[in-house]
Amino acid sequence: MKLAVISDTHDNIKNLVKALKGIKSAGCGTVIHCGDLASPFMIHELSEFKGEVHTVFGNVEGDQFTIKEFADMYDNITLHGEAGFLKIDGGEIAFTHLPLFAKGLASTGNYKYVFYGHTHRHDRQKVNGCWLVNPGDLIGLHEKPGWLEVDTETAEFTRHGI
């Protein structure tokens, strides 16, 4: 399965729309958002994706209550809270916002992939047999904004700039 991983969108609708176009073109059926949407209206933008969207809270969500209300309005969006857990292609996936929490999850050896955000920098490393991956951000704080395509069957990663 091909999935897309994004993070740290921080209300940048323009870049989110560009990323979602690329995600659709790449044939990804699922989007994982590793937090820092910032405002509830970003949920509406994510709902335009014609597949599953899984997201978690980051550390700058201005109104978690309304973000949750917005997420509940859309059948394709699941808001997991501080961390999300999925089973895809026979492997367990976890995702969260903060790197320390993500490293802890990866170190358990229970997951094939753990995705996280917060640092605004793309990074990928193996921890106890688990891929610990940050897709970078969609705002371009430290590097070119982009998203990550993950083939969960082959463990191939492709970072797409926007």
Q: Average pLDDT, stretch 12-23?
A: 98
pLDDT per position as a tens digit, 117-149: 999 999 999 999 999 999 999 999 999 999 999
Specify the pLDDT at position 94. Answer: 98
Q: Please check the confidence at residue 64 and state whether its pLDDT lies above 90.
A: yes
Confidence of residue 4 (pLDDT cuts 50, 70, 90): very high
Q: Average pLDDT, stretch 104-124?
A: 97
In a 3-state reduction of DSSP, which class is residue 62?
coil
Q: What is the mean pLDDT of the chain?
A: 96
2-161 under CATH 3.40.50.300, yes or no: no
Confidence of residue 97 (pLDDT cuts 50, 70, 90): very high
Q: Can you point out the beta strands (E) in the chain? A: 2-6, 30-33, 52-55, 77-79, 83-88, 91-96, 113-115, 122-127, 130-135, 146-151, 156-161
Percent of all residues in the chain with a pLDDT value above 70, rounded to a whole number: 100
Say which residue the tokens 């492997």 belong to.
Answer: 91
Specify the pLDDT at position 90. Answer: 78
Confidence of residue 91 (pLDDT cuts 50, 70, 90): confident
Q: Please check the confidence at residue 93 and state whether its pLDDT lies above 90.
A: yes
